[in-house]
Amino acid sequence: MFESQLERTTATEYNVDLRRAHICNRGILIYEHTEERCLCPPAYYGLRCEFQNQRVSITFQIRTALWHTHFQFVIMLIDNDEHEIESYEQISYLGIRDCNFKYNLNLLYTSRPKHINKSYSVRIDAFDALSTSVIYHGSWLFPITHFFLPVYRLAFQLSVRVVYANPLKTDHTNCSCGSHGQCFAYMNTGEYFCRCIHHGWRGKTCQIPTEITPNYCLPDSVSIGSSICVCPLGKFGSRCLISFASICSSSNPCAHGGTCIPVNPRMTLAYSSLFTCACNEGFSGKTCEQIDAQLDIHFPHGMSDIPSSVLIHFITVIDNNDPERTTTVKRIPFGQNSIRVYRSFPFHLVFVEIMKTNHQQKSFYLVLTQQIYIPAANISTSEFHRCLPINELFNSTILSYSLLRRVKYYHKACQKHLDLTCFYDDEQFMCLCTEDHNANCFPFDFNMSYTCQGYDYCENNGECFQNHPTCPTSAVCSCPECYYGSRCQFYTYGFGISLDTILGYHIWPRVTLSEQPAAFKLSIIISVFICVLGLINGALTAATFYSETSDDTGCRVYLYTGAINSLFITFLFALKFIFLVITQLNILTSYIVLTIQCLSIDFVIKILLAANDWFASCVAIERVFTIIHGIQFNNIKSKRIAKYMTFSVYLFTCTSYLHESIYRSLVDDVGDQRTWCIVRYPRPAIQDFASSVNIFHLIVPFSINILSAILIILCMTRIRFHVKKQQIVRRQVLYQQFIKYKHLFISSILLVILKLPGLLISVLSGCMKSQSRDIPWLFLSGYFMSFVPSLLTFITFVIPSVTYMSSFQKVLQKVRRTTLYKKWHCM
């Protein structure tokens, strides 16, 4: 009766006859003065909404591991010929808010009926919407395969990768975008397309000018096609010119440092408020007003292998019902033996599960029991009671029983093992031993999967674990061998592994030097030794070969240049080590300074080390020619060739290592809270090329030194065939030749001996299988030994040679005379 009265009142007040609402097929009846009109939904048209539109009906969900990133998606219906936009829709998405939301959209054709000679596709562009800018993230393409259908239904799950789409460096054969576009690849198909980056251009190759004004969209926004503007946070409207009065812009309603994310007022029907709070860890609630319970879990000191990540199961006991279980995933920073987790819901039991590695058996530990839950409590526990599997408690006869029969013997486990705290039957039950040694069991799903299905979070086949089966807010990765990083995004395979990769995880932030790992302490000692040795060696060698009288051949040019290189290598090595330490200790945070050192220091060190190897090879080759030609050897020509070769070596090494400078970058690993200077190649072919270059610079100079030593022996042996037949004479001549050229032979052999360990380690070591947990002594030794040949040029070339030692002694005498003169002059 009340409803009928309300209907009559409403109808009378607005002169609307609700009994005639049916005349609008799925539409809304309105009155314009006395004339009836119908507001039709997108799927229908006509005076009475009696006709069905030809359209593309889309149903989809979004999955992404960027849970706190605010996205703007533009869903467009385009023709495949010129990529003209038929119709479009825009939606906003925030993972922590819209994870389970299912979107239903209709895209219409511009003409009725649609063009039968055209083919169409649905294209989706994703953007990161920030408060001051909009950043392009990636695109997807879904072709309309059955074009003859009047209504084409499309359903899918859109997986947004963590990694941004990058444009191709050069135009692809199927993607020539001119000067107004960039070539990208669709994230789901891999096909190439042109994305127009300059305002006012559209089309398949960005060659069609639009007729809109240059400043049609707000400068902080992004334009698509002729009239689509993607707005930053806080802006809306067709041109992003309207700023809605969000509470986020006037004051932050989110407590405890939470981030306020405004919601477009046009979406108030979908959301109950005009903002969403992204809370910091340890806080929860609509406005982050609730302080969560804090639990500090300390691993036992005797625990031999602390894992890199664990699953933490919270059990909430409910009266007259099965306990509820929630699980979170926590990554354990390297060098720490404790973790901190927060919980906003009541819990009474806490289990820690050590994640499986290499398909080993799971391990469960009971770390906390509490009868009464206290909100916002700070709890610290170091109890680690291992829950034994039943196969360690019962014999094979009991294990062969069915589950229902086997349960009857659970009490015997607690009664037989008085120190037993918990055990489990991985078919169904987790059990606790009570104070009177009886088993108290509850259902526990041991097969629950926490793998990141639908989330492209871990790279390089890393095993992903998330804290919720469908709508996670965090995840951790268990990396395979040879990979590291919070998402397994970095690799440790290949030649020339950098010091960042080897030693980075063994430098612990917020820890004193005495508490640092042994690898870091030893590296400091070795680095100081290398710097002192490098300075002494470089100074003595440079002083020896500075004078023209020391050697009139091209060897002096090579050795003097190599000595200067050694000084630069020593300086850059010290600088590299210092930057690595202060970066990993979070002392230096200037992005510009870190980027400059990342792009330059490692690159220059590699060039100088390779150049020194090639200079040593040039010396070995020249010495072979010296023995072969004897007194006919042309010293002047040798020096002229040496100058050209020095320039050529620098040019060759710079060119061959140029790819490292191009693909080297500074990367912030948010999960590990570390900054890395790494080289990442986009394609396997480039990585294979880089490995080949490193092998070439290792093997070829090494082989030249071996061959030169062998040739020197052969040339010295050949002399015997040009002397008299008497045995005593042949031996005397051979001995005289050996004494004369022994420094040539000894230098080549020493270079081979010094280079061999580093070469063997580089070739045979493969990759670092455990980058963060084990001390990489082999790789650390290989890295430091790569500097040894450049730091021992004085021992290798000067000491074995009588001529060079004579020059060095002359330098010493000159220094002494200068010193005595200055002392006498001062007196």
Per-residue pLDDT of 565-580, as tens digits, reads: 999 999 999 999 999 8
Q: What pLDDT does 724 receive?
A: 46
Mean pLDDT is lowest, of 25-29, 447-451, 585-589, for: 447-451
pLDDT band per the 50, 70, 90 thresholds, residue 9: very low
Could you give the CA distance from residue 720 to residue 17 in angstroms, rounded to a whole number?
A: 125
Q: What pLDDT does 349 receive?
A: 93
Beta-bridge partners for 386: 365
Could you give the CA distance from residue 107 to residue 345 in angstroms, rounded to a whole number?
A: 43
My answer on whether omega of the bond before 776 falls inside 30° of 0, hence cis, is no
**Strand-pair category, 475-478 with 151-160:** unpaired
Q: What is the pTM of this model?
A: 0.69
Using a pLDDT cut of 90, give the percent of the chain over it: 20
**For the residues 194-220, what does the mean pLDDT come to?**
82
Mean pLDDT is lowest, of 303-312, 390-399, 683-692, for: 303-312
Structure tokens at 264: 């477009």
**For the residues 96-102, what does the mean pLDDT come to?**
85
**For the residues 139-151, what does the mean pLDDT come to?**
91
Q: What pLDDT does 169 receive?
A: 67
Structure tokens at 337: 């033996």
Mean of all residue pLDDT scores within the chain:
80
Contact 328, 352 (CB under 8 A): no
Closest CA to 381 of 340, 346, 410, 421: 340
Using a pLDDT cut of 70, give the percent of the chain over it: 82
Q: What pLDDT does 736 receive?
A: 57
Higher per-residue pLDDT: 479 or 181: 181
Could you give the CA distance from residue 457 to residue 467 in angstroms, rounded to a whole number?
A: 13
Mean pLDDT is lowest, of 69-73, 129-133, 228-232, 651-655, for: 129-133
Could you give the CA distance from residue 127 to residue 217 in angstroms, rounded to a whole number?
A: 16
Closest CA to 371 of 437, 296, 438, 317: 317
Q: What pLDDT does 814 receive?
A: 81
Could you give the CA distance from residue 643 to residue 670 in angstroms, rounded to a whole number?
A: 49
* Cα four-point dihedral sign 183, 187, 189, 195: negative
Helix (DSSP H) and strand (DSSP E) numbers for the chain: 18, 40
Could you give the CA distance from residue 94 to residue 779 in angstroms, rounded to a whole number?
A: 43
Confidence check: pLDDT of 3 > 50? no
**For the residues 694-712, what does the mean pLDDT come to?**
79
* Cα four-point dihedral sign 197, 202, 204, 208: negative
Three-class SS state of 225: coil
Q: What pLDDT does 268 receive?
A: 44
Q: What pLDDT does 99 receive?
A: 83
- HEC secondary structure over 9-50: HHHHHHCCCHHHHHHCCCCEEEEECCEEEEECCCCEECCCCC
**Strand-pair category, 151-160 with 134-143:** unpaired
Could you give the CA distance from residue 350 to residue 38 in angstroms, rounded to a whole number?
A: 60
Task: Indicate the CATH number for domain 508-767+774-808.
Answer: 1.20.1070.10
Parse the chain into domains and list their residue ranges.
2-45, 55-243, 508-767+774-808
Mean pLDDT is lowest, of 217-231, 269-283, 526-540, 786-800, for: 269-283
**For the residues 776-784, what does the mean pLDDT come to?**
78
H or E segment and range at residue 636 = helix 635-656
Please report, to the nearest 10 degrees, the dihedral formed by the alpha carbons of residues 469, 471, 473, 474 taken in order. 30
Contact 201, 187 (CB under 8 A): no
Contacts of 664 (CB under 8 A, 6+ apart): 598, 599, 602, 603, 677, 678, 679
**For the residues 216-241, what does the mean pLDDT come to?**
84
Could you give the CA distance from residue 261 to residue 278 in angstroms, rounded to a whole number?
A: 7
H or E segment and range at residue 342 = strand 338-343
The amino acid present at 796, given as its one-letter code, is: T
Three-class SS state of 93: strand
Contact 786, 759 (CB under 8 A): no
Q: What pLDDT does 742 receive?
A: 58
Per-residue pLDDT of 17-69, as tens digits, reads: 666 778 888 888 888 887 888 999 888 999 889 899 999 999 999 988 888 88
- HEC secondary structure over 686-727: HHHHHHHHHHHHHHHHHHHHHHHHHHHHHHHHHHHHHCCCCH
Angle between helices 635-656 and 554-584 (to 10 degrees): 30
Mean pLDDT is lowest, of 237-241, 324-328, 511-515, 559-563, for: 511-515
Mean pLDDT is lowest, of 244-258, 665-679, 744-758, for: 744-758
**Strand-pair category, 293-298 with 378-381:** parallel
By the 10 Å C-beta count (0-12 exposed, 13-18 middle, 19+ buried), 795 is classed as: middle
Helix runs in 453-590, H state only: 499-503, 518-546, 554-584
**For the residues 268-295, what does the mean pLDDT come to?**
78
Structure tokens at 711: 């040739």
Higher per-residue pLDDT: 361 or 502: 502
**For the residues 459-468, what does the mean pLDDT come to?**
77
Q: How far is CA 648 from CA 218, 618, 655, in A?
A: 53, 12, 10
Q: What pLDDT does 735 receive?
A: 56
Neighbours of 374 (CB within 10 A): 10
Could you give the CA distance from residue 638 to residue 618 in angstroms, rounded to a whole number?
A: 11
**For the residues 494-509, what does the mean pLDDT come to?**
74
Confidence check: pLDDT of 329 > 60? yes
Confidence check: pLDDT of 250 > 90? no
Contacts of 700 (CB under 8 A, 6+ apart): 617
pLDDT band per the 50, 70, 90 thresholds, residue 730: low
**For the residues 481-508, what does the mean pLDDT come to?**
75
Spatial strand order of the sheet with 338-343 comes to: 338-343, 293-298, 378-381
The amino acid present at 555, given as its one-letter code, is: C
Contacts of 706 (CB under 8 A, 6+ apart): 748, 752
Could you give the CA distance from residue 787 to residue 799 in angstroms, rounded to a whole number?
A: 19
Could you give the CA distance from residue 809 to residue 800 in angstroms, rounded to a whole number?
A: 14
Beta-bridge partners for 324: 316
Closest CA to 591 of 681, 490, 665: 665
